[in-house]
Amino acid sequence: MSNFRTIFDQYNWEAVSQSIYSKTSLDVERALKRDKRDIEDFKALISPAAAPYLEQMAQLSHQLTLKRFGKTMQLYIPMYLSNECQNICTYCGFSLDNKIPRRTLNGLEILKEVETLKSMGYEHVLLVTGEANKTVGVDYFEQVLELIRPHFAHISMEVQPLRQHEYEKLLPLGLNTVLVYQETYHKEDYKKHHPKGKKSNFYFRLDTPDRLGKAGVHKVGLGTLIGLEDWRTDSFFTALHLDYLERTYWKTKYTISFPRLRPFSGGLEPKVAMNDRELVQLICAYRIFNEEVELSISTRETEIFRNNVIKLGITSMSAGSKTNPGGYTVEPQSLEQFEISDERSPQAIVEMLKAQDYEPVWKDWEAAYQ
- Site residues for ligand SF4 per CB under 6 A: 85, 87, 89, 92, 94-95, 130-131, 199
User: Considering beta carbons, is residue 92 or 148 the nearer one to ligand SF4?
Assistant: 92
CB-wise, 132 or 293, nearer to ligand SF4? 132
CA distance linking residue 195 with residue 201, whole number of Å: 9
CB of 203 to ligand SF4, least distance (A): 16
Q: In angstroms, what is the minimal distance from the CB of 339 to ligand SF4?
A: 14
Q: What is the DSSP letter of 97?
A: T
**Smallest distance from ligand SF4 to CB 116, Å:** 22
Answer positive or negative: Cα dihedral of 317, 133, 148, 255: positive
Q: CB nearer to ligand SF4: give 121 or 195.
A: 195
**Smaller CB separation from ligand SF4, 65 or 95:** 95
Mapped onto helix, strand or coil, the DSSP state of residue 43 is helix
To ligand SF4, the closest distance from the beta carbon of 94 in angstroms equals 4
Whether the CB-CB separation of 87 and 130 falls below 8 Å is answered with yes
How far apart CA 294 and CA 299 sit, in angstroms, is 17
Collect all residues with Cβ–Cβ distance below 8 Å to 160 and sequence separation of at least 6: 129, 130, 131, 133, 136, 137, 198, 199
Minimum distance from residue 103 beta carbon to ligand SF4 (Å) = 13
Looking at the Cβ atoms of 43 and 199, the one nearer to ligand SF4 is 199
Q: How far is the CB of 68 from ligand SF4 (least distance, A)?
A: 32
Query: What type of residue sits at position 195?
Result: P
Q: What residues contact 166, with CB distance under 8 A and at least 6 apart?
A: 138
CB nearer to ligand SF4: give 42 or 94. 94
DSSP string, 166-197: HHHHHGGGT--EEE---B---HHHHHHH--BS
